Amino acid sequence: MKRRAFLEAGRAPAGILCAALLALSPAACSPAKGKTYRNIGYVFQRGTDIEKLDVTKVTHINYSFGLIHNNEYLEVNPATGKPFGTPPNPDVRTPEPVPDGLLHTIYLPEKVASDLSRLDILRAKNPRLKVLLSVGGFDCRGFSDAAADAESRKAFAASCRETVDRYRLDGIDLDWEFPVIAGWGSIKGRPEDRENFTLLLREVRAAVGPGKLLTVAGSGNLEFVNRWTEFAAVVELLDFINIMTYDFQYGTSYYGSSLYASTAWPTELVADEYNCDKSVRYYIRNGCPPDKINLGLAIGAVVPDPVRRDAAAWAEIRRKLAAAGAPPYGFVGLKTVKDLLEDRNGFMKKWDPDARNMYISTVLADGREQFVLSYIEPRSIAEKAKFVKELGLGGIMFWEFGSDYDNSLVACIEAELRR
């Protein structure tokens, strides 16, 4: 997720926040007794064994990803002057010209199709489980053309219905990242995407019918509301929206998914002040019912841009990571954080009371303490679940199931939502 300016919507004192939210929604600040909250896990097919997933703790699974037949690679990307090419994703089929009969329809990588044909394994563990196919993902080509005219929209929607029927799914989740902005130039896009997205959703809704779920992955970036979508019309068509309130560690933000702004490790530019509270409240103020919002969190850890831009600090941190046995590059797996970096090997586990987030820091050779990465763990999950209840949201979404190597965080999310 790249960086674009948020409108100013700073953190308010609790009393003021509750008063404002009560004006927006009767549910806000008064958690419903006995309410069942959604706990939605994305399942990314690569490296995931569905038999090892503890689906007793979730309400929904978004199996990812379905992809779209397209001929984008034959066209020149106006942002670069070169062909769009194949995204750096081994699950995307090596492009060959797609015949007209397949254009704008969904295809499934082999592992996706195989797992979807075995959903009885999961439903035997949790008969109430809802399973959706998530179509798209970052750098997924084909959305803009599929949405561009009535004929292509009908082809895409019919393909959604056929896929739902074939695998007995409970719905479709569209993960177009994002209309208009087109992955910041990595995929095809057009200004008309804003209106066409609404028309595409309307066609899919009509095709799958009212008995099936239709959801989207929404950006934490406020431009998703302001410029990339016809937000009010989109909200009306959807059962719910999963807001990706994570990947904020790009630009000048240290935290990947802070609940509020940090004073200890503030963003270096006001425009990069990303946090869950700001994004969610902006969705609500612009007409999204709180119950349609699921707060997204990511299981994993990424060394943020501000750290990696400091060449001397980053070189020293990489040496420390390597000495600890951790991968000396940007992404660090959750198990590695827990086993190698929590108060050991020269790294410190710390809690930010403002951001309501855990982070790892280290002391550099020059004596200054340096932020290394933030991550999701039980204490921050508890804070986010409390936030979900206080604002009357629908639940939590997490990316992704396979990263929770022992199912402990999935269980923690469920327990906190039920508490």
**Mean of the pLDDT values across residues 246-273?**
95
Per-residue confidence (pLDDT) for residue 77, from 0 to 100: 82
Q: Look at residue 253 and tell me whether its pLDDT is greater than 80.
A: yes
Beta bridge partners of 358: 351, 375
Fold of the CATH domain 14-299+376-418: TIM Barrel (3.20.20)
Q: Look at residue 18 and tell me whether its pLDDT is greater than 80.
A: no
Residues with Cβ < 8 Å from 177, sequence gap 6 or more?
1, 136, 137, 138, 139, 140, 183, 217, 219
Q: How far is CA 192 from its chain centroid?
A: 24
DSSP code per residue over 89-127:
-TTSPPP-PPPTTTTT-EE--HHHHHHHTTTHHHHHH-T
Split at pLDDT 50, 70, 90, the class of 94 is low
Split at pLDDT 50, 70, 90, the class of 97 is confident
3-state secondary structure 12-74: CCHHHHHHHHHHHCCCCCCCCCCCCCEEEEEEECCCCCHHHCCHHHCCEEEEEEEEECCCHHH
Per-residue confidence (pLDDT) for residue 3, from 0 to 100: 34
For residue 163, give the nearest of 95, 125, 113, 93 by alpha carbon: 113
**Mean of the pLDDT values across residues 181-209?**
96
Q: Look at residue 398 and tell me whether its pLDDT is greater than 80.
A: yes
Identify whether the C-beta of residue 65 lies closer than 8 Å to the C-beta of residue 140: yes
* 386 three-class SS: helix
Split at pLDDT 50, 70, 90, the class of 30 is low
Q: Look at residue 234 and tell me whether its pLDDT is greater than 60.
A: yes
Per-residue confidence (pLDDT) for residue 14, from 0 to 100: 36
Residues with Cβ < 8 Å from 377, sequence gap 6 or more?
338, 358, 409
Per-residue confidence (pLDDT) for residue 95, from 0 to 100: 59
**Mean of the pLDDT values across residues 223-232?**
98
For residue 290, give the nearest of 28, 40, 30, 60 by alpha carbon: 28
Q: Look at residue 276 and tell me whether its pLDDT is greater than 60.
A: yes
Per-residue confidence (pLDDT) for residue 79, from 0 to 100: 77
Per-residue confidence (pLDDT) for residue 172, from 0 to 100: 98
**Mean of the pLDDT values across residues 164-179?**
98
Per-residue confidence (pLDDT) for residue 330, from 0 to 100: 80
Instruction: Find the range with the poorest average confidence among 8-12, 50-54, 91-95, 401-405.
Output: 8-12
**Mean of the pLDDT values across residues 184-208?**
96
Q: Look at residue 81 and tell me whether its pLDDT is greater than 90.
A: no
The residue extents of the domains of the chain are 14-299+376-418, 305-374
Split at pLDDT 50, 70, 90, the class of 11 is very low
% the chain with pLDDT above 70:
89
Mean pLDDT over the full length of the chain: 90
- CA gap 263, 319 in Å, rounded: 28
Instruction: Find the range with the poorest average confidence among 59-73, 93-107, 148-162.
Output: 93-107
**Mean of the pLDDT values across residues 329-338?**
90
For residue 176, give the nearest of 300, 20, 70 by alpha carbon: 70
Beta carbons within 10 angstroms of residue 210's beta carbon? 8
Structure tokens that stand for 157 in this block: 């929607």
Beta bridge partners of 131: 61
**Mean of the pLDDT values across residues 193-203?**
98
Look up the pTM and report it. Answer: 0.90
For residue 4, give the nearest of 189, 203, 248 by alpha carbon: 248
